[in-house]
Every structure is written in structure tokens, then in C-alpha cells.
Amino acid sequence: MRLFTLLAVGLCLAGLPALAQPKSAGAPDPTLIEDLVVANRVLADLGVLDGFGHVSVRHDKDANRYLMSRSMAPALVKAGDVLEYDLESTAVDAKGQALFLERFIHGEIYKARPEVRAIVHSHSPSVIPFGVSRTRLQPIYHMSSFLGLDVPVFEIRDIAGPASDLLVRNAQIGAALAKVLGDKTVVLMRGHGSVTVGTSIPQVVFRAYYAEMNARLQSEAIKLGAVTYLSAEEAAASAKTNDALVMRPWELWKRKATKPE
């Protein structure tokens, strides 16, 4: 896989047309675009995203394409800012706009995880400390049961060496990140942020928000003494229950985010 990726990157750099100018998979379902725009606003309202971070969704017409805005602050994203990318994270039509340097996070995870349909990359504040210490992020209540037993941490030094700028700025680093994520829902990035994946936009927004909440509450709980975390069985049962409930907060968040000011 890593060899293949390197090869693909090499071909891309060589300017081969098929890779450099991917064809569009056609217009996605308009509600997908609308939900993606709403998700940007919601995640900014919830404090998961600030001027940085991004959210993407897999194209509903082609599993080899995903949708994400051009490089800009999430809270300002409108439908016209959404671009289509192939899984090498090349834009079908960049419209002359700057792209996120870290779009490879999305492309590589969509490659590695066929069931994933939405991805959030954020610097969600309470999560950051868990990426730089040895304390593992673990679910302290049922809302964050999707975290499972604990959450892996990606150390970029392992793939990009001791002097990187910490960004996932190419497919190789993206693939290494996807590998550490494995089959989990969240991966922390040391000294940087985190990535959350889901099977829909409402679910990934739910997860990105409650990962942040869990970090805040776990940090407080640790200060009070030994913590009883969810067991693996409890986390699995609860995550299944919650998956059926993600529309409840989504309706609330969407209402607030789209309220005329």
C-alpha cells in the first residue's frame, strides 16, 4: 500500500493527465452539499473548529471522490466553496483556489476505510492535551462510547522525521495516519489535533463534539482520583444505541446554525 501510494504521488508529480486532472463523478445530492455546509457552521459554533480544521464527505455517486471546501475558515464556507477531490486528494476543478495542505488526511482515510463516509480534522482544544501526554483518551460516559477502550495517538516523527511542520502535507503521511487510526473512530495527532470518522455527517459531527466533551470531563475526573471508564462491552452496546440517536442533536445544531441572524 505504502509503495503504491508513493508510486501514485510520483505519477502525480510527473504530471500524468489521468491523475492530475481527475474527472468529476457528477453533481452530488444537493442535500449532501447543504449538510456539509451546515456541518462546517455547527462545528465552529460548538468550538470544535476555529479558523482552522476541515470536514469532508464522500461523494454519494462515486466512492472514489469526496467533497470538501477550498482552504478557508470553516464558519465562512458556502455551497459554492465546496470542491470535489479524488482519493489522491487532487481537486477535480480547483477553480484557481488554494486547497487545504492537509487534504491527504481525507483521501487516505477514504481509501483505507471503505465504510467511512465523513471525516473531521480539528484542533478541538480539550483533546490536544491527550495527544501530548501518556494519559490515553478513554470514554468516561455513554455519549463518547464510540471511543471504544481507548484512542490511538499518531506520532508524526515516526513517518516525517524530527523536523516536520507537523502537517499531513502528502499522501505518505496521510497513509501512515490512516494506519494508526486502524478501525477506530478517532485518532489523536501529537502536537497538532485529531481526526474523527463516521458513516454520515450527523454522526461524525456528534463524534467530534463528544470526543471534545469527553476530553474535558475525563481531565476533570482524573483530578478527582481513580476513574471507572466504560468497559469494552458497555462501550460497544452504548455506541450501537447512540448511532440511532444522532439526528436528535443534529436537528438542534442545524436549527441554531442556520437561524437567520
Neighbours of 104 (CB within 10 A): 26
CB of 47 to its own copies, least distance (A): 11
CB of 197 to its own copies, least distance (A): 20
* DSSP helix/strand/coil, 193: strand
162 binds its own copies (CB under 8 A): yes
Taking CB under 8 A as the criterion, the residue among 141, 152, 179, 199 binding its own copies is 141
102: annotated active-site residue? yes
Nearest to 257 by CA among 33, 46, 57, 52: 46
**Using CA atoms, how far apart are residues 238 and 146, in angstroms rounded to an integer?**
8
Helices (H) and strands (E) counted in the chain, each on its own, are 10, 7
Taking CB under 8 A as the criterion, the residue among 132, 158, 182, 258 binding its own copies is 132
* DSSP helix/strand/coil, 10: helix
113 binds its own copies (CB under 8 A): no
**Using CA atoms, how far apart are residues 239 and 4, in angstroms rounded to an integer?**
34
3 binds its own copies (CB under 8 A): no
Task: Please give the DSSP secondary-structure letter assigned to residue 70.
Answer: -
Torsional class of 220: left (φ above 0), alpha (ψ -120 to 50), beta (otherwise): alpha
CA distances from 89 to 14, 116, 170 (A): 16, 16, 9
Q: In this complex, which beta carbon is closest to its own copies, that of residue 112 or of residue 204?
A: 204
Binding mask 45-64 for its own copies (x = CB under 8 A): -----xxx------------
12 binds its own copies (CB under 8 A): no
The residues assigned a catalytic role are 102
Q: Where on the chain is the footprint of its own copies (CB under 8 A)? A: 50-52, 71-73, 75-76, 101, 123, 125-126, 128-135, 139-143, 145, 162-167, 190-193, 213, 216-217, 219-231, 233-234, 236-238, 240-241, 245, 248-253, 255, 259, 261
